[in-house]
Amino acid sequence: MFALLVLWFGISVPLVFLGSSELAGAHEPDPQADPSSAEIPVFSCLIGGVLPFAGIFTELFFIMSSIWQHQFYYLFGFLMLVVVILAVTCAEISITLAYFQLTNEDYNWWWRSFFTSATSALYIFLYSVMYYFTRMQIGHYVGALLYFGYMFVISYTFALLSGAIGFSATFLFVRTIYGSIKID
């Protein structure tokens, strides 16, 4: 127990004071940084888009088969469950990444909360490209143009839908955690 106390007061406490002091450069502004430009980290958005896509991946195959290969779709109850899972997943991943952003004292969370869940539409479009080359037998370029045009519109609409879910959930979360703070 004595060794643990020596480690705590001999190593951890001095490092805490060193890290919080101005000698370590914690309060120095970065001369290269432009405070007016809000960057959206592409990597975190791409990772955040994987989870909503993973939630709808299986159902997406059946929907695309019913649309493009004239098969009957009869799993509407399961589709409703997948839509609920999609909404919960979009909300959770946007809130989680916005929370990490807020803990790093970066308070420009708006666009990142939108793009985090909207990036799943990129994966849907990439899946439609794979679906085209593995399942479709379209010989003419006009058919391929129609297919990719429709899939782009579907992916764009999905991006707006999932981005709106992510932004709305994050807005309610931020309002809940910061709503009780009164600014005089």
Instruction: Identify whether the C-beta of residue 111 lies closer than 8 Å to the C-beta of residue 100.
Output: no
- pLDDT tens for the chain, residues 1 to 184: 788 788 778 887 787 777 666 555 545 555 555 554 456 788 889 999 999 999 999 999 999 999 999 888 888 999 999 999 999 999 999 999 999 999 988 888 999 999 999 999 999 999 999 999 999 988 889 999 999 999 999 999 999 999 999 999 999 999 999 887 666 5
Whole-structure pTM value? 0.75
Q: Amino acid letter at 66?
A: S
